[in-house]
């Protein structure tokens, strides 16, 4: 049985795209196929004019997994520099790199630069993961439910912090989530998935920068409701 079938999706550069769907619908797998971490049995993915593996080789991706992949034996700053130390032959995107310490400052964590990940809360660790993704210079950020392990209060904060950084740097983000509100709040486009396939792709034309008042707006609620309808129809 195919985990994913009839997937047809094109993503514009510099956009924030969410892959939204219930657990087990293949959204993480799709993200990994795009990122060259999983090989698709058939079909084609191109990033610019590269295959996912080629794009990976040229360090076009910055990956933010569900649990922040911070090495416990490296300080926060050393973790920020890890992408710089690995696969040094790929220099294509080096000029877009941002100073890791500066990025830590941007997420309010410069004071823990010399600490180890084990000393930070889950939310702080995930902020490091995001700061690191933006500092690598990679044009495409792959985020696999980065906030799902956090409590609701932390999640809310993190969403706005991510919006804030993204609006400053405008990289392509592919963001996997199972939260409808999260997807609407963050994205330019929400790709609604049901197990194995794409149901619908929805443009979100909410004004930017998006501030926390936007969640109260009727427009926001309408988007959330229309996505809910899509999921309801399937059941």
Partner 1 sequence: MSMQQAKTSGLHSHPIKDKGSFRQSFTQSSFWTALISFITVLVVWEVIVRLFHVRPIILPAPSAIFIEFFTHSSFFLPHAWVTLYEAMLGFLLGMIVAIGLGILLSHSAMLEKFLLPLAVLANVTPIMAIAPLFILWFGFGSLPKILIAAIITFFPMLVNSIAGFRSINENHYEYMQSLFASKKEVFLKLRVPNSLPYLFSAAKTCVSLSVMGAVVGEWTGSTAGLGNVILMASNYMQMNRMFAAIFVLAFMGVSLTQIVRLIELKVLSWHTSIYMHKNR
Which residues of the shown chain bind partner 1 in the complex (CB under 8 A)? 35-37, 56-57, 59, 61-63, 65-75, 82-83, 85-87, 90, 108, 111-112, 115-125, 142, 149, 153-154, 157-158
Closer Cβ to partner 1, 164 or 199, answer by number:
164
Shortest spacing between CB 64 and partner 1, in angstroms: 9
Shortest spacing between CB 55 and partner 1, in angstroms: 9
Shortest spacing between CB 86 and partner 1, in angstroms: 5
Shortest spacing between CB 114 and partner 1, in angstroms: 11
Closer Cβ to partner 1, 21 or 137, answer by number:
137
Q: Which of 186, 192, 218 is nearest to 204 (CA)?
A: 186
Q: Which of 148, 136, 134 is nearest to 16 (CA)?
A: 134
Are the C-beta atoms of 108 and 42 separated by less than 8 Å? no
Q: Express the helix, strand and coil content of the chain in percent, nearest 5 each.
A: 45, 15, 40
Report the alpha-carbon distance of residue 224 to residue 80 in Å, rounded. Answer: 35
Shortest spacing between CB 146 and partner 1, in angstroms: 12
Closer Cβ to partner 1, 19 or 120, answer by number:
120
Q: Which of 19, 16, 15 is nearest to 4 (CA)?
A: 19
Closer Cβ to partner 1, 81 or 231, answer by number:
81
Q: In terms of DSSP bridges, do strands 16-20 and 172-177 run parallel, antiparallel, or are they unpaired?
A: parallel
Closer Cβ to partner 1, 46 or 121, answer by number:
121
Q: What is the greatest pairwise CA distance in the chain?
A: 51
């Amino acid at each position: 049985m195919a985990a994913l079938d009839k997937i047809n999706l094109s993503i514009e550069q510099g956009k924030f795209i969410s892959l939204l769907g219930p657990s087990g619908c293949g959204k993480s797998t799709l993200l990994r196929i795009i990122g060259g971490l999983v090989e698709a049995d058939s079909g084609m993915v191109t990033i610019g004019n590269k295959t996912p593996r080629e794009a990976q080789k040229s360090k076009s991706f910055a990956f933010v997994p569900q649990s922040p992949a911070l090495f416990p034996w490296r300080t926060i700053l050393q973790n920020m520099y890890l992408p710089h130390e690995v696969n040094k032959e790929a220099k294509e995107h080096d000029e877009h790199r941002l100073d890791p310490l500066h990025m830590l400052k941007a997420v309010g964590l410069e004071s823990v630069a010399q600490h180890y990940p084990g000393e930070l809360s889950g939310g702080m660790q995930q902020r490091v993961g995001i700061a690191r993704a933006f500092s690598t210079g990679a044009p495409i950020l792959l985020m696999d439910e980065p906030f799902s392990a956090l409590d609701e209060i932390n999640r809310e904060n993190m969403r706005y912090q991510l919006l804030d950084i993204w609006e400053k740097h405008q990289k392509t983000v592919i963001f996997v989530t199972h939260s409808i509100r999260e997807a609407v709040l963050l994205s330019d486009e929400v790709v609604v998935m049901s197990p194995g396939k794409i149901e619908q792709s929805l443009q979100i034309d909410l004004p930017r920068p998006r501030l926390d008042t936007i969640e109260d707006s009727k427009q926001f609620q309408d988007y959330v409701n229309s996505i809910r309808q899509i999921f309801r129809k399937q059941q």
